[in-house]
A and B are shown apart, each in its own frame.
Chain A
């Protein structure tokens, strides 16, 4: 049901350039959903998105420089969980704060029963989505093929653009 051909499945192309916990969800949720809907999916991991191709994903998140991220505690009674804590920016650079924010964010997701990044990536793979590492940024940041999961492919911009040229939906994160 692609725009050009009613018989072919739709095609999704995503460029994933960020490696933080909040930005990691976007390509994998959209990718797994599209793949489950029968779409062709290709996700191009570049720059800091490359870290999402490692076997063990260790993505962090911080409200530092991320003012839209609300600071709420994912535990305790309901009224407590609804409090938005006004944390001063200087506190966010205290050692350990980023790890704390990451832990709390993961707990928030777990409370709502949201799948983990690794689980969503596994679903993408199960449905045949292509996970492609960017050759150029791999060389720049010193990643090697062996650093990534075996299902990942390696390609450059031209190869990905050829794929995306026929995509019905193209996104960049």
Chain B
């Protein structure tokens, strides 16, 4: 019952709380099991996205620091 489509979001330039808000809004539009890939520049995402994933019951697949103000993460909708 899951699909492996991938949505890509560019969150660069957005500051708290917008990265978390945009991810939460995008989650509503994808089916369960689908993945969102996003890039962000706010260093706050390092703490915020894992916290959001734990709180909302979704999965943080990966979170990498690509550069000084560049972060890439993948989140999966679990419910």
Contact = CB atoms under 8 A, between A and B. Distances in A.
A36 B17 contact: yes
B18 A115 contact: yes
A59 B57 CA distance: 36
B17 A113 contact: no
Interface of A: 1, 10, 29, 32-33, 36-39, 112-115, 120, 123, 126-127
A39 B25 CA distance: 14
Q: Is the interface of B mostly helix, strand, loop or mixed?
A: helix
A127 B48 CA distance: 18
Interface of B: 13-18, 20-21, 23-25, 48, 51-52, 55-57
A1 B55 contact: yes
Q: Could you say which of A33, A123, A127 has the most chain B C-beta atoms within 10 Å of its C-beta?
A: A33
Given A1-B55, A10-B55, A39-B55, A33 B20 contact: yes
Top 3 A-B pairs, shortest CB-CB distance: A36-B24, A33-B17, A37-B55
Contacts of A38: 24, 55-57
A37 B20 CA distance: 8
A29 B55 contact: no
B17 A32 contact: yes
B56 A29 contact: no
A33 B21 contact: yes
Q: Could you say which of B13, B21, B56 has the most chain A C-beta atoms within 10 Å of its C-beta?
A: B21
